[in-house]
Amino acid sequence: MNTMRDNGRLKIAIQKSGRLADMSLKLLEKCGISLAKSRDQLLCMADNFPLDVFLVRDDDIPAFLATNVCQLGILGQNALLEQQANENGKYAELKEVMALGYGKCRLSIAVPNDFDYKDITSLSGKTIATSYRGLLAKYLAEKNVSADIVTMQGAVEVAPRTHLADVICDLVSTGNTLKSNGLRETDIVMQSQAVVIKNEIKDVEINSICEKLIARLRAVLRAENSRYIMLNSPIDSLDAIKAVLPGSQSPTVMPLQGRDDMVAVHAVCEEGVFWNTMEALKAKGANSILVVPIEKMLD
């Protein structure tokens, strides 16, 4: 019987709604995958690539992979490591394939502004509220600090005000949530961002679809981080100008019609091209500097 499970298509689990949902869907779209989707559904099927997309709660993604319902997933490193810390080896075979550069945040300990904090030992004997019991317990054990952990599903930042806990351990990005709740960050337990995770794929065909998708994901990220730069350079300053081009391997150098003192230089720069880079190029004699985004890139 050709069930959903073995229909010869790769399956990926991504967050249905929340911080990572839109970016994860957009990323698949940038890989050229067109989804006949309805946001209310659990499942979207790509109509131009052998991929099915499961839209689920982020906490459920490791289980979808561990049971081989899906072979790939996108979630925060924090969520993966928390479940790996708690589930006693159950998710050990799930591997991080690549970091995606969005959903950047950190898991931090924060104390009320009037808390007398000197160092981590100030937390001995205190109560800490968190949704990340596994990661926090590991961190405290490494630091030899013994504290009580209260697990909360959300709204962790209100715990000190309601006297449920003395301090908290929660995700921080801008720091606004901490600030508006009278808390200050004292220790970073881990830095996190969205990652692609993969289980051990035994089916050769599914594995080759998976590799194709991963290659597209890498190409999209590479193109996003790269810029195409075009400029005119005095022939005499060519070496100095090449040295300033950020992360470019071998620029193309072309003659400029009617000029024997200047050439056109085109290069793919795999690092940020900032105003100060452009100013440095100009200072070396470059002019007509153009920096353009790259849509797709494949070696």
Ligand X SMILES: O=P(O)(O)OC[C@H]1O[C@H](OP(=O)(O)OP(=O)(O)O)[C@H](O)[C@@H]1O
Which residues of the chain form contacts with Mg ion (CB under 5 A)?
A: 58-59
Compare residues 190 and 235 and give the one whose CB is closer to ligand ATP. 190
Residues between 96 and 125 with contacts to ligand ATP, criterion CB under 6 A? 103-105
Please tell me the distance from the alpha carbon of residue 95 to that of residue 268, in angstroms, as a whole number.
Answer: 31
Please select the residue that binds ligand X; options are 171, 206, 220, 238, rule is CB under 6 A: 171
Q: How many residues does the chain have?
A: 299
Residue 129 touching ligand X (CB under 6 A): no
Q: Provide, rounded to whole angstroms, the least separation between the CB of residue 125 and Mg ion.
A: 30
**Which residue of the chain is nearest ligand ATP when measured via CB?**
76
Amino acid identity, position 252 = T
Please select the residue that binds ligand X; options are 48, 88, 144, 176, rule is CB under 6 A: 176
Containing 178, the helix (H) or strand (E) segment is: helix 176-180
Residue 194 touching ligand X (CB under 6 A): no
Compare residues 104 and 161 and give the one whose CB is closer to ligand ATP. 104
Residue 24 touching ligand ATP (CB under 6 A): no
3-state secondary structure at position 205? helix
Residue 173 touching ligand X (CB under 6 A): yes
3-state secondary structure at position 79? helix
Please select the residue that binds ligand ATP; options are 7, 34, 67, 173, rule is CB under 6 A: 173
Q: Applying CB under 6 A, what is the total number of residues that bind ligand X?
A: 11
DSSP result, 37-69: --TTSSEEEESSSSEEEEEE-GGGHHHHHHTTS
100 contact, one of ligand X, ligand ATP, Mg ion, none, CB 5-8 Å limit per kind: none
| Neighbour-count burial of 133, counting CB atoms closer than 10 A to its CB (0-12 exposed, 13-18 middle, 19+ buried) | middle
User: Between 77-86 and 133-142, two packed helices, what is the crossing angle to 10 degrees?
Assistant: 80
Residue 154 touching ligand X (CB under 6 A): yes
Residue 276 touching ligand X (CB under 6 A): no
3-state secondary structure at position 285? coil
Long-range Cβ pairs for the range 20-23 (8 Å, 24+): 20/58, 20/74, 20/75, 20/76, 20/102, 20/103, 20/194, 21/55, 23/100, 23/102, 23/103, 23/194
Residue 59 touching ligand ATP (CB under 6 A): yes
207 contact, one of Mg ion, ligand X, ligand ATP, none, CB 5-8 Å limit per kind: none
Please select the residue that binds ligand X; options are 170, 213, 263, 268, rule is CB under 6 A: 170
Q: Provide, rounded to whole angstroms, the least separation between the CB of residue 231 and ligand X.
A: 38
Q: Which residues bind ligand X (CB under 6 A)?
A: 19, 154, 157, 170-177
